[in-house]
């Protein structure tokens, strides 16, 4: 995998080149607590919960945040961008993925943030059901 990192305090890669046969697309996630099914309060908590939800989805299939190559962030208020970045970099601190952040009018359930991502690997962890990964 080839990554081009931006200089300075940029928290994402400008571009990512890959040539892997296995790609996972993680659908947009919001800050719903899996235990209660309710949206957590505030942008910081929603960002953390959203990223935890993504981390858990990846983990269920033997993948990690290190496999993520592209992140798309949707915010209802771009003034939250810096708050989101402070939490985001704790999940993608080394070799960060390419990323885009967009302002949107509204999100499901009144969420303040939604995140979707793409992950890529050159092989599947042995013993994983490929149908579960959507590869058959």
State the average pLDDT for the chain: 84
- The reported pLDDT for the residue numbered 131 is 45
CATH of the domain at 26: 3.30.1330.40
pTM for this predicted structure:
0.80
Arithmetic mean of pLDDT, 49-71 = 93
Cβ pair 127, 46 in contact under 8 A:
no
Q: Is 106 a member of any domain? A: yes
Phi, psi at 117, each rounded to 5°: -155, 165
Going by their DSSP bridges, the two strands 68-75 and 22-29 should be labelled as unpaired
Q: Is 14 a member of any domain? A: no
Determine which of 2-11, 29-38, 56-65, 110-119 has the lowest per-residue pLDDT on average.
Answer: 2-11
pLDDT band of 136, cuts 50, 70, 90:
very low
């Amino acid at each position: 995998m080839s990554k081009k990192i931006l200089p300075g305090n940029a928290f994402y890669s400008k571009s990512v080149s890959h040539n892997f046969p296995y790609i996972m697309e993680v659908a947009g996630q919001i800050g719903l607590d899996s235990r209660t099914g309710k949206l957590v309060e505030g942008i910081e908590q929603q960002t953390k919960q959203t990223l935890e939800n993504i981390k858990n989805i990846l983990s269920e299939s033997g993948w990690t945040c290190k496999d993520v190559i592209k992140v798309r962030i949707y915010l209802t208020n771009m003034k939250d961008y810096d708050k989101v970045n402070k939490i985001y970099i704790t999940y993608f601190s080394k070799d960060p993925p390419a990323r885009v952040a967009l302002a949107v009018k509204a999100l499901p359930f009144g969420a303040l943030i939604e995140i979707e991502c793409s992950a890529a690997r050159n092989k599947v962890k042995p013993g994983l059901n490929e149908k579960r990964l959507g590869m058959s």
